Structure 1
Amino acid sequence: MQDLIVIGGSYAGMAAALQLARARRKVLMIDAGQRRNRFAGHSYGFLGQDGRDPAQIWTEARAQLAAYPGVTWLQDSATHASGAKDAFTVTTAGGAEFTGRRILLATGVTDELPPIPGLAERWGRSVFHCPYCHGYELNQGRIGVIAAGPMSFHQAQLLPEWGDVTFFTDEKLTLAPDQRQDLVQRGVTVEDTAIAAVEGDADIRLADGRVLPFAGLFTASRTRPSDPIAGTMGCAMTETGMGSQIRTDEAKQTSIPGVYACGDVARAPHSLSLAVGDGAWAGAQLHRSLVWPDD
C-alpha cells in the first residue's frame, strides 16, 4: 500500500512527491516520459535554472527524488484507476496493479495548435506560447502573433513589450473596431490575410504570396489533459480561456475525495515555475490529508 500514487512524473508531480518523500511517506511515481516542454532546448524564467536545458532540469530533479528510499519510479502509463479514499487501485499499461491511499494526477496537457503547415514542427523552438518564458531572447526583434481564438487578442496586446509585433488574424478572429484601435495604439500591425504556411526559422508565407520574416512567433494554443484518466475516473472538469483542466479546490483536491491534481492539468496559466510551485503546494496538502484524514 502506497501513501501516494503520482500519475505523471514531470515537474509538478515530482515537486509534490518530494514533500511526501521528506515526510518519509511511501510514494509511487508512474511516468510515461512525455514532458510538455520536451520540444524546447532551453527553459527561461525559472529562478535558479534560467536558460538551462529542461531535460537536464528534469533529470537532476528525478535523481534528487530517487535519493529518498520511500520513492519508487515506474516507467509506464496508468490506464485505469478506481476505488475510494485510502483504498485506490491503479492499473498500468504493462499489466501491473498498485494500491494507494491517495492519487495525484499530474499528467500535464497537450497543446492543440492552429492547423497551419509548418507550425507544429517549430513548436518550442521558434513558435511559443509564453512571452515570459521566451520573449527576452528575441532581442526586441520582429514578432508574429498568430490568432487561434479570443485569447490571441490579449496575447497581441501584451507582446509589444518584447518587440515589434504583427498580429495575424488568419481569418480565425474578427476584431471589433475598438480592439483594432487598441492594437494600433500599442504599435501592433494587424494583418488580415490568411496564412499559407510557416517556413524557414520563423517566416510566415501568406495566401497572397508575401513572405514575412520574424525573430519568433507566438500563438495561444488550446490545451487538454494529456491523459484521459481524470475523465474516466469521473473528476469534474472546468473550461478556461486556455482550454480544459481538472477542477480542484484550494487544497488541490479534485471532485473525488482522495484524488488530487496539480500542474498544467489543474491550473492556468502555465509555466515551469508555476507547475513546480503548484506541485509543492499539492504535496503539502496531500501530506496533511494523511495526517488529519477527517479534516
Structure 2
Amino acid sequence: MKNKNFEVIIIGGSYSGLSAAMSLGRSLRQVLIIDSGLPCNRQTPHSHNFITQDGESPAIISEKAKLQVDFYKTVRFFNGLAIEAVKTQNGFEIKTESGELFTSKKLLFATGVKDVLPEINGLVECWGISVLHCPYCHGYEVKTEKTGIIANGEMAFEYAKLISNWTKDLRLLTNGKSTLTSEQTKVLERHQIEIIEDEIESLEHENGNIKQVIFKKQSKITLKAIYFRSPFEQHCSLPEVLGCTLTEQGLIKVDIMQKTSIPGVFASGDCVIQARSVAMAVSSGSFAGASINKELIEESFA
C-alpha cells in the first residue's frame, strides 16, 4: 500500500467499523480500515433483529457491507492485526503485526469484545449456534422449545424472567450450588422453572446443535437451546495502552459523540455497548463516523 497517511484509521472492520467507514467515505475522508478477519459471531449461522437483513448469515452481511464501503474510493482496507498504537504530535501511528506503519489524525476503535467461556466440554462448539447470548437476536427461532439457562444468583433470576417470555419449557442450570435467595427460588418455582444445581460436565451436540447436557453426577437432560451470558474482555488491548478509560463493566467509556477519554480517539460497536447486536453496532458506527467528520471540520475552521 503506497499511501501510509490517512485522516482516520479504523481498527476493526466488522459491522461498526464498516458503518463508520461508510459515513466517512461519504464525507470524502481518507480512511484506512485495519481488520484481522476474526469477528466474534463468525460461528453464528444467522443474524436476526436487523431490519432488511433478518435471517441473513453474519458473513454475508459483512461481505455486502465491504462491497458497498469499497465503492467510496477514499476508503482503503488492510488485512492484518494492529499491534501498536502511539499518540504523536499530529495524531496517531499504528503498527501492524506484519511491520507496516500507518498514521492518521483520528483513530476509531471498533474492535469488539472477546467472550470468556467456561471450561465445559462442547460449549465452545455450540456457542452462537445453540448456546445463545441474546433472546432478541435468537429467541424467536427456539420459541416454546425445551430450553436451559446457565447462570446463578441475581443474574440468573433476571435472565430466567426474561427468557420465560419466549418459552415456558425452561430450567435454570446453576452449575453448582444455587446462590438465589429463598424468595427468588419461590418465584421461579411458582412459574414452574426448574432449578438444577448439579455441576455441568459437558454438552453433547451435533455440529454445534445441542442434544443433551451431561452433569458430573452422570445425570442428563435433553435441551434444544441454552442461554448463557458470557463474561467478556476487550478484544484489543490498544485502547487501554493509549490510556482510554474503561467502565466498571469493562467497556470503553465514550461520551454521546463516541469520544473516548483520549482526544482524537473514538470507539463504537460491541467494545462500548452493553446490548450487543448487529443493529446496535451499525448504529453506533454510523454515528461515530459522523462525529469524527464533524471534529475534523471544526478543527479546519479553528
Q: Which residue of 2 aligns with 1:223?
A: 232
The reply on whether 1:275 has 2:284 as its aligned counterpart is no
CA contact (8 A) 2:152 2:179 kept: no
Q: CA offsets per residue over residues 116-145 of structure 1, 9 Å max, x none?
A: 111111101111100111111113111100
Give secondary structure in 2 for the equivalent of 1:59: helix
Question: Mean Cα displacement is larger for which, 34-43 or 199-208?
Answer: 199-208
Q: Which residue of 1 aligns with 2:55?
A: 51
Question: Mean Cα displacement is larger for which, 196-205 or 98-107?
Answer: 196-205
**Residue 207 of structure 1: which of 205, 216, 223 is its match?**
216
CA contact (8 A) 1:84 1:257 kept: no
Q: Which residue of 1 aligns with 2:176?
A: 171
**Residue 161 of structure 1: which of 159, 162, 165 is its match?**
165
Give secondary structure in 2 for the equivalent of 1:74: strand
Give secondary structure in 1 for the equivalent of 2:248: strand
CA contact (8 A) 1:40 1:54 kept: yes
| Distance in 2 between residues matched to 1:63 and 1:248, nearest whole Å | 29
Q: Which residue of 2 aligns with 1:123?
A: 127
Q: Which residue of 1 aligns with 2:84?
A: 80
Distance 1:150 1:86, change over 3 A: farther
**Residue 66 of structure 2: which of 42, 62, 68 is its match?**
62
| Distance in 2 between residues matched to 1:84 and 1:149, nearest whole Å | 47
Aligned-residue CA RMSD in angstroms? 1.6
Q: Which amino acid aligns with 2:8?
A: L
Q: Which residue of 2 aligns with 1:188?
A: 193
Residue 38 of structure 1 deviates from its aligned partner by 0.2
Q: Which residue of 2 aligns with 1:197?
A: 202
Q: Which amino acid aligns with 1:41?
A: P
**Residue 93 of structure 1: which of 75, 93, 97 is its match?**
97
Residue 86 of structure 1 deviates from its aligned partner by 4.2
CA contact (8 A) 2:178 2:197 kept: no
| Distance in 2 between residues matched to 1:175 and 1:61, nearest whole Å | 44
Q: Which residue of 2 aligns with 1:258?
A: 264
Distance 1:235 1:185, change over 3 A: same
- The TM-score normalised by the length of structure 1 is 0.95
| Distance in 1 between residues matched to 2:103 and 2:175, nearest whole Å | 50
The reply on whether 1:142 has 2:146 as its aligned counterpart is yes
Residue 184 of structure 1 deviates from its aligned partner by 2.3
Residue 169 of structure 1 deviates from its aligned partner by 0.8
Q: CA offsets per residue over residues 78-127 of structure 1, 9 Å max, x none?
A: 11111257421111111111110100001111101122111111101111
| Distance in 2 between residues matched to 1:175 and 1:281, nearest whole Å | 40
Distance 1:173 1:65, change over 3 A: farther
Equivalent pairs, count: 292
CA contact (8 A) 1:85 1:102 kept: no
Question: Mean Cα displacement is larger for which, 125-134 or 174-183?
Answer: 174-183
Indicate the percent of aligned positions where both proteins have the same amino acid.
36
Give secondary structure in 1 for the equivalent of 2:164: helix
CA contact (8 A) 1:86 1:102 kept: no
Q: CA offsets per residue over residues 127-164 of structure 1, 9 Å max, x none?
A: 11001111111131111001167533322221011111
CA contact (8 A) 1:148 1:220 kept: no
| Distance in 2 between residues matched to 1:272 and 1:173, nearest whole Å | 33
- The TM-score normalised by the length of structure 2 is 0.92
Q: Which residue of 2 aligns with 1:236?
A: 245
**Residue 12 of structure 2: which of 5, 8, 12 is its match?**
8
CA contact (8 A) 2:177 2:197 kept: no
| Distance in 2 between residues matched to 1:154 and 1:172, nearest whole Å | 18
Distance 1:90 1:172, change over 3 A: farther
